[in-house]
Structure formats: structure tokens, C-alpha cells
Amino acid sequence: MGIGNVSERRLAPPEVGVSVVVLALGPDATSSRSRLWMPLVRRVRQPFLGRWALPGGGLNAGRSLEQSAYGALESTTSLHPRYLEQLYTFGDPDRSCGGLPMVSIVYWALVGNAEARDFREGDNVKWFPEDELPELAFDHRAIIDYALWRLRTKIAYPDLAAKLVGETFTLSQLHDVVEAVTGEQVDLANFRRRILASGELEDTGAKERVGHHRPATVYRYISRAAPGPWNPYDWTGSAPDTPRDARSPDGDGRPADDDPLSALMPTSR
């Protein structure tokens, strides 16, 4: 543990870890609408002992960064995200707050309603609504803001909303998610057409009645994965179904600044 004095620390290799910003839909006390919640864990060490922080952990040798993120999330919160993507790597010196230089590879994740129930709440692990966060350790507040920005700019893509809402859903539910995330109103009629035209939704045949009105057809998200050599990991080896949708680098007309990494990562061979 005790690694010498300050001057020695500056030369020491930096600490490296992964952190995860996890986002899920939850109730809004007032408006009956949904809003975003995220799990935080209380720190049990210095610095920032007692402060809330993002779930995270060290790198597991022998596992990919993504697997490490998945594992860190599972061990701290027992959550199994439906979506997991690298966000950014932070490593500026002044974020270490006097400690060792600290590099955090941050992922962001979405969990559906079903998965969110796996969550084990405790004194040191709790959900917080996105707009009522406590004081956070390190620069985690800024990281969260960035993750939220990323979600809001990408939520237009059907798959992201689908990850948040769950396995199957009606178009109204999907629509509500988008409105809850962006905070803006979206014309339902046009939303419906756009989404259906994307070809990424499949009619399950089921119908769902919300009120006592006309039932809505229930859809499922289908990944239009490239037929190529795609290796569906299997982050944990234990997760029953963690279908991460494969998105081909160019296969679809998606301009997104998204990652084709899936296809070119060394594992894909």
C-alpha cells in the first residue's frame, strides 16, 4: 500500500480503473412521467470517503476493458446492462486530488426496467434521480453530465430507447422514453413513422392495453447486425442474455459518431 512520499508518487505509474455511468428509467414523484435514474456507490476509502461516486473498479487482467466495466458494475450493483459503450478516458492530473495520478476509462450503460429490478439497494448503493444528485467524489459530476449529453444526442436512434424501456414495448412507450430523456415534445405520428421506417422494430404480434382504450401493438427491437464475423461477447460468461446489438460500421445509413470498433477489435477474428 504505502507507496513512499509525494515525489515518488509522481513518478509511479498511474492508477487505472473503469467507471460506469448507468442510466435507467424510473418514476418521477410528481408528473407521472418517467425520468432518468442512476446508481451510485458510497466510497469506503480516502479520498472522498463517504461521498457518492460512480460504480467502478480496477482492470481485470485477462479481460477486455468492456468486460472489466461489466464486471465492476455487476460486483457493485449486480446490474446487467443491456447496452454498454466506452464514453471517454479521463486522466488529467488535477482530478487525482493529491493522490496518485488516476486514469479512469469511463463507460456508459443503459438498463431496462426488467434488469433494474436486479439491483440490490443498500446503505452504500442507491439510485438517484438524474436531477437530484448528491455531492459527488472526484470529477464524477462532470462525467455524468457528459454521459447525459451523449444519451440525449443519441436517443433518436431507436435502439437506445429500446434498451431503456425493455425487451418489448409499444410505440407509445418508446415515444415516452424519448420525450422523458430529451425533455422535448415529439410528434407521435411522425415518431411512429420514422421509427417503423428504420426497419429496426419487429411486430411481436402481441397487443397491449394500457387504459381502457384501443390496444397497441407490441414491438421488439431487432438488430440489423452485419452478417459478417461478429463475435457476440459474452462479457461475463455468466450473463444469461446480454445481447449487445452489433452495428455494422457502415452497413446502415447511420451518420452517428459511433463506433465501428465492434467489428475491428482484435476479438473479432
Nearest approach in angstroms of CB 218 to a second copy is 29
What is the spatial distance between Cα 264 and Cα 52, in angstroms, rounded to a whole number?
36
Nearest approach in angstroms of CB 192 to DNA is 5
Q: Count residues near DNA (CB under 7 A).
A: 20
Residue 171 near DNA by CB under 7 A: yes
Nearest approach in angstroms of CB 41 to a second copy is 6
In the complex with a second copy, the residue whose CB is nearer, 6 or 189, is 6
Among 172, 182, 204, 223, contact with DNA (rule: CB under 7 A) = 172
Residue 215 near DNA by CB under 7 A: yes
Residue 31 near DNA by CB under 7 A: no
What is the spatial distance between Cα 111 and Cα 162, in angstroms, rounded to a whole number?
10
189 interacts with, out of a second copy, DNA, none, CB within 5 to 8 A per kind: DNA
- DSSP notation for the chain: -----HHHHHHSPPEEEEEEEEEEEEE-TTTSSEEEEEEEEE--SSSSTT-EE--EEEPPTTS-HHHHHHHHHHHHH----SEEEEEEEE--GGGSTTSS-EEEEEEEEE--HHHHTT---BTTEEEEETTS---BSTTHHHHHHHHHHHHHHHTTSHHHHHHHH-SEEEHHHHHHHHHHHH-S---HHHHHHHHHHTT-EEEEEEEE-SSSSPPEEEEEE-----SSS-----SSS--S---PPP--SSSS----S---HHHHSGGG-
Residue 33 near DNA by CB under 7 A: no
What is the spatial distance between Cα 192 and Cα 179, in angstroms, rounded to a whole number?
13
What is the spatial distance between Cα 258 and Cα 87, in angstroms, rounded to a whole number?
11
Q: Which residues ranging from 37 to 66 are in contact with DNA (CB under 7 A)?
A: none
Residue 217 near DNA by CB under 7 A: yes
In the complex with a second copy, the residue whose CB is nearer, 195 or 218, is 195
In the complex with DNA, the residue whose CB is nearer, 188 or 256, is 188
33 interacts with, out of a second copy, DNA, none, CB within 5 to 8 A per kind: none
In the complex with a second copy, the residue whose CB is nearer, 188 or 261, is 261
Nearest approach in angstroms of CB 171 to DNA is 5
Q: Which residues ranging from 193 to 212 are in contact with DNA (CB under 7 A)?
A: 193-194, 197, 209-212
Nearest approach in angstroms of CB 170 to DNA is 6
Nearest approach in angstroms of CB 222 to DNA is 17
Binding site for DNA (CB under 7 A): 170-172, 187-190, 192-194, 197, 209-217
